[in-house]
Structure 1
Amino acid sequence: MRIKLKKGNIKIVLLIITFIVVFIVLNNSYKVSNELYNDISRFEENLDYYVENVDYDDSFSPFFIRKKKIFNKISKGFCQERRNFVFIKTMKCATQTLVQIFRRFGYLRHLNFVLPRGNNIYIGWPFIPEKQDYRPSGREFNILTEHAVYNHTVMTKLMPKDTKYITIIREPFSHFKSTFNYFNVANISFVKETDKVSGYLQNLEKYESSYKRPNAALRYCIPDGFSVTKNQLSHCLGMPLGYPSGRENITANKMLVQDYIKHLDSEFLLVMIMEYFHESLVLLKRLLCWSMKDILYHTINVGNYGYKNTPPSAENLKIYQTWSHIDYLLYDHFNKTFWRKVISEGDDFQAELSEYNKVQSQVSNFCSDLSNKNNVTVIEESPYSDTFTISKDYCLMLGIDLLEYLKRRFDREEAWSEPENKTAVKRGC
Structure 2
Amino acid sequence: MAVVISLPKIRWLRLSFIFTGALTFYMVYTAVVWGKGRIDSYMLTWNGVKGADFLTPSTNHRHIQQQLAENVKTCSPRNQIVFIKTHKTASTTLQTIINRFGFFYNLSFVFNKNYINNGHFYFIPLTPRNQKRLFLPPLNVRLGDYSNYSNNFDIMAVHVRYNRVEMEKFMKKHTKYISIIRDPVAQWESAFDFFKFQDAFGSALSRIPEDKWIETFLDNSSFHLESLKHLWYENVLGLRWYYAQNSQIYDLGLDSTSFHDDVVINGTVKRLEQEFDLILLAEYFDESLLILKKQFCWKYEDILYFPKNKRLTRRQLSDHVQMKIRNLNRADWLLYSHFNRTLWEKVKSYGPKFDEDLNYFRHLNHRIFHECGNGNATRFYKRVEYTPRRNSSLFCQTIAEDKQSLFRRVFNRQNPMKIYHVYK
Scaled by the length of structure 2, what TM-score is found? 0.70
Task: Quote how far apart the aligned CAs of 1:230 are.
Answer: 0.4
Q: Provide the C-alpha distance between the structure 1 equivalents of 2:118 and 2:200, rounded to a whole number of angstroms.
A: 22
Equivalent of 1:356 in 349, 358, 361 = 361
Equivalent of 2:160 in 124, 148, 160 = 148
**Are residues 1:303 and 2:290 paired?**
no
Task: Quote how far apart the aligned CAs of 1:207 are.
Answer: 2.1
Aligned CA distance change for structure 1 residues 266 and 74 (closer, same or farther; 3 Å): farther
Q: Provide the C-alpha distance between the structure 1 equivalents of 2:415 and 2:400, rounded to a whole number of angstroms.
A: 23
Q: Which residue of structure 1 lines up, in the alignment, with residue 234 of structure 2?
A: 220
Q: Which residue of structure 2 lines up, in the alignment, with residue 286 of structure 1?
A: 294
Q: Which residue of structure 1 lines up, in the alignment, with residue 395 of structure 2?
A: 394
Q: Which residue of structure 1 lines up, in the alignment, with residue 172 of structure 2?
A: 160
Aligned CA distance change for structure 1 residues 124 and 392 (closer, same or farther; 3 Å): closer
Equivalent of 2:89 in 83, 88, 93 = 93
Q: Provide the C-alpha distance between the structure 2 equivalents of 1:134 and 1:302, rounded to a whole number of angstroms.
A: 30
8 Å contact kept, 1:189–1:211: no
Aligned CA distance change for structure 1 residues 107 and 296 (closer, same or farther; 3 Å): same
Any idea what SS the aligned residue of 1:311 has? coil
Q: Provide the C-alpha distance between the structure 2 equivalents of 1:356 and 1:313, rounded to a whole number of angstroms.
A: 35
**Are residues 1:128 and 2:125 paired?**
yes
Task: Quote how far apart the aligned CAs of 1:237 are.
Answer: 0.5
Correspondence list, 1:265-344, <5 A: 265-305=273-313, 308-314=314-320, 316-344=321-349
Q: Provide the C-alpha distance between the structure 1 equivalents of 2:125 and 2:312, rounded to a whole number of angstroms.
A: 31
Correspondence list, 1:18-417, <5 A: 62=49, 73=68, 75=70, 77-78=72-73, 79-118=75-114, 119=116, 121-129=118-126, 130-131=130-131, 132-137=133-138, 138=141, 140-187=152-199, 189-190=201-202, 191=205, 192-194=207-209, 195-214=212-231, 216=232, 219-220=233-234, 222-224=236-238, 226-241=241-256, 249-305=257-313, 308-314=314-320, 316-368=321-373, 392-400=393-401, 401-412=405-416
Task: Quote how far apart the aligned CAs of 1:200 are.
Answer: 1.1
Task: Quote how far apart the aligned CAs of 1:357 are.
Answer: 0.8
8 Å contact kept, 2:373–2:400: no
Aligned-partner residue type, residue 262 of structure 1: K
Q: Which runs of 4+ in 1 moved over 4 A?
A: 390-393, 415-418
Q: Provide the C-alpha distance between the structure 1 equivalents of 2:165 and 2:346, rounded to a whole number of angstroms.
A: 26
Task: Quote how far apart the aligned CAs of 1:223 are.
Answer: 3.8
Kindly indicate which of the two structures has a greater share of residues assigned to helix.
Answer: 2
8 Å contact kept, 2:49–2:394: no
Any idea what SS the aligned residue of 2:180 has? strand
Q: Which residue of structure 1 lines up, in the alignment, with residue 13 of structure 2?
A: none
Q: Provide the C-alpha distance between the structure 2 equivalents of 1:123 and 1:76, rounded to a whole number of angstroms.
A: 35
Aligned-partner residue type, residue 211 of structure 1: L
Task: Quote how far apart the aligned CAs of 1:391 are.
Answer: 5.4
Task: Quote how far apart the aligned CAs of 1:134 are.
Answer: 2.3
Aligned CA distance change for structure 1 residues 290 and 93 (closer, same or farther; 3 Å): same
Which ranges of structure 1 fall in alignment gaps of 5 or more residues?
1-58, 65-71, 242-248, 372-389, 419-429
Aligned-pair identity in percent equals 27
Aligned-partner residue type, residue 145 of structure 1: A
8 Å contact kept, 1:208–1:227: no
Q: Which residue of structure 2 lines up, in the alignment, with residue 14 of structure 1?
A: none
8 Å contact kept, 1:180–1:229: yes
Q: Provide the C-alpha distance between the structure 2 equivalents of 1:95 and 1:353, rounded to a whole number of angstroms.
A: 20
Any idea what SS the aligned residue of 1:91 has? coil
8 Å contact kept, 1:182–1:303: no
Task: Quote how far apart the aligned CAs of 1:298 are.
Answer: 1.2
Q: Provide the C-alpha distance between the structure 1 equivalents of 2:77 and 2:235, rounded to a whole number of angstroms.
A: 36
Any idea what SS the aligned residue of 2:118 has? coil
Q: Can you list the C-alpha shifts for 1:349-379, whole angstroms capped at 9, x where unaligned? A: 11100100111111112223569xxxxxxxx
8 Å contact kept, 2:372–2:400: no
Superposition RMSD in Å:
2.6
Q: Provide the C-alpha distance between the structure 2 equivalents of 1:107 and 1:232, rounded to a whole number of angstroms.
A: 29
Q: Provide the C-alpha distance between the structure 1 equivalents of 2:326 and 2:307, rounded to a whole number of angstroms.
A: 29
Scaled by the length of structure 1, what TM-score is found? 0.69
Aligned CA distance change for structure 1 residues 153 and 62 (closer, same or farther; 3 Å): same
Q: Provide the C-alpha distance between the structure 1 equivalents of 2:191 and 2:77, rounded to a whole number of angstroms.
A: 34
8 Å contact kept, 1:300–1:399: no
Aligned-partner residue type, residue 122 of structure 2: W
8 Å contact kept, 2:293–2:300: yes
Any idea what SS the aligned residue of 1:227 has? helix
